């Protein structure tokens, strides 16, 4: 679906591109209000949008919709780009395009979140961006809450609520065609064998004598040596070893 030649009616095989020097000149012209330069910048950076859209190919979303949303992010990055900064345009534009697509996915999420919580989350994200620009570091949740005059818990809940759900078929690693999915990394500790073994182990330990339980606890929970245990309970190290071995054999059997 993402390898097709046409997306949103745009022939992706013939999309133009620009050199960095040309981009810089056009960006300067855009800041002066040149609409033709702005239009050319948009058209010549559609490949950039397409490359970002491909990163969301596993989401099951219509690529045409994502492409259009990505173009909105591209236009915003052109309008807001600071030509005085020593930064490549693509370095600035890619996060803007990704952010716009992610906002679209959040707003069209299958998990419904109330508008008030979403508004709090977006306000927190804008506060975070401003804090980073002002202080050159990421703020803590408490700092965001203080700036917004809100409870820390409310900020945490709001930010968690807009995190995108991830499919268990989301790829996490791919090497020579052998893809590992999130599903492959999930385990079930509640399968029949695990809980049956746990029951057997608990019942077996119950059947041990008080001294056997005490020695196993000191040896394997508290991490003491046989010599330390022998001094503590007043028997020889050889006796500790024998009782320990006997208790382990009972559990094994």
Instruction: Give every CB contact of residue 13 below 8 A, 6+ residues apart in sequence.
Output: 5
Taking Cα atoms as reference points, which of 114, 93, 96 lies closest to residue 104?
Answer: 96
Rounded (5°) CA angle 122-165-8: 80
Measured distance CA(114)–CA(198) in Å, rounded? 43
The pLDDT tens digits for 173-189 are 665 556 777 777 676 65
The pLDDT tens digits for 217-249 are 888 888 888 999 999 999 999 999 999 999 999
Q: What is the pLDDT of residue 196?
A: 73
The pLDDT tens digits for 98-127 are 888 888 877 776 666 777 888 898 899 889
181 membership: H or E segment, kind and range: strand 178-181
Fold classification of 192-252 is Arc Repressor Mutant, subunit A (1.10.10)
| Averaged pLDDT of the chain | 82
Q: What is the pLDDT of residue 83?
A: 80
What are the start and end residues of each CATH 1.10.10.10 domain in the chain? 111-172, 192-252
Measured distance CA(253)–CA(251) in Å, rounded? 6
The pLDDT tens digits for 126-147 are 899 889 888 888 899 999 999 9
Band of the pLDDT at 1, cuts 50, 70, 90?
very low
Number of DSSP helices (H) and strands (E) in the chain, helices first: 12, 4
The pLDDT tens digits for 191-223 are 555 677 777 888 888 889 999 999 998 888 888
Q: Are 58 and 170 in contact (CB under 8 A)?
A: yes
What are the start and end residues of each CATH 1.20.120.1810 domain in the chain? 1-108
Q: What is the pLDDT of residue 175?
A: 58
Q: Are 128 and 138 in contact (CB under 8 A)?
A: yes
Q: What is the pLDDT of residue 239?
A: 92
Measured distance CA(179)–CA(177) in Å, rounded? 6
Q: Are 107 and 100 in contact (CB under 8 A)?
A: no
Q: Which residues pair with 11 in a beta bridge?
A: 6
Tokens 């599903």 belong to residue: 183
Q: Which of the following CATH numbers is that of domain 111-172: 2.60.130.10, 3.40.91.10, 1.10.10.10, 1.10.490.10? A: 1.10.10.10
Fold classification of 1-108 is 1.20.120
Residue 20, pLDDT > 90, answer: no
Q: CA of 112: how far to CAs of 120, 159, 161, 195, 230, in Å?
A: 15, 14, 9, 36, 62
Q: Which long-range contacts (CB under 8 A, 24 or more apart) does 117-123 make?
A: 117/157, 117/158, 117/161, 118/158, 118/161, 118/162, 120/148, 120/150, 120/154, 120/155, 120/158, 121/158, 121/159, 121/161, 121/162, 122/162, 123/148
Q: What is the pLDDT of residue 145?
A: 93
Dihedral sign of CA atoms 58, 60, 64, 68 in order: negative
Q: Which residues pair with 174 in a beta bridge?
A: 179
């Amino acid at each position: 679906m993402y390898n097709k030649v046409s997306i949103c009616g745009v022939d992706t095989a013939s999309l133009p591109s620009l050199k960095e020097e040309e981009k810089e000149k056009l960006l300067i012209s855009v800041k002066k209000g040149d609409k033709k330069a702005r239009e050319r910048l948009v058209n010549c950076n559609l490949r950039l949008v397409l490359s970002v859209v491909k990163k969301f190919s596993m989401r099951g979303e219509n690529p045409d919709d994502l492409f259009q949303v990505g173009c909105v992010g591209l236009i915003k990055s052109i309008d807001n780009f600071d030509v005085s900064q020593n930064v490549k345009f693509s370095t600035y534009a890619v996060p803007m395009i990704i952010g716009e697509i992610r906002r679209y996915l959040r707003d069209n999420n299958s998990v419904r979140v109330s508008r008030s919580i979403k508004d709090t989350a977006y306000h927190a994200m804008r506060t975070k961006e401003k804090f980073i620009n002002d202080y050159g570091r990421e703020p803590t949740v408490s700092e965001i809450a203080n700036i917004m005059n809100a409870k820390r818990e409310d900020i945490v809940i709001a930010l968690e609520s807009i995190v995108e759900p991830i499919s268990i078929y989301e790829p996490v690693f791919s090497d020579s065609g052998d893809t590992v999915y999130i599903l492959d990394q999930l385990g079930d500790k509640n399968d029949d064998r695990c809980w049956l073994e746990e029951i057997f182990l608990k019942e077996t330990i119950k059947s041990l004598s008080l001294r056997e339980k005490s020695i196993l606890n000191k040896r394997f929970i508290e991490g003491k040596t046989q010599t330390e245990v022998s001094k503590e309970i007043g028997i020889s190290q050889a006796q500790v070893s024998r009782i320990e071995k006997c208790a382990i054999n009972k559990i094994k059997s």
